[in-house]
Amino acid sequence: MQSIKVTVLGKQIPLKVEDSEVENTRKIAQYVDDKFKTYRNQLSNQPDSTIMILACLSIAEEVFELRSQYDYIEGKESDLMDQVNQQLERFVQEIS
């Protein structure tokens, strides 16, 4: 485990992460910070808690959309593999 600090909305946050996850954790923190800053710039009169909630909802929406796309692609891949298997079975039957 490694101790690191990330900065989100100007606040340093100490974290303990696996050595292999240090770079990824920094990238995630930077992404979250960027989202917060985007919402802060758009809604400068709102409290940080509102900005954080809206940014988190936006990130969650992105995750849900990507999951949906992944599930769709996985389903298409499965359908394609079924078709390939059926074609192979027909081919094997024809040459037998």
* Residue 51 exposed, middle or buried by CB count within 10 Å (0-12, 13-18, 19+): buried
- The pLDDT tens digits of the residues spanning 45-89 come to 999 899 999 999 999 999 999 999 998 898 888 888 888 888 888
Q: Is 9 helix (H, G, I), strand (E, B) or coil?
A: coil
Residues 14-25, mean pLDDT to the nearest whole number: 96
The torsion defined by the Cα of 74, 77, 82 and 85, in degrees rounded to 10, comes to -140
Number of domains in the chain: 1
Range of the domain at 18: 2-95
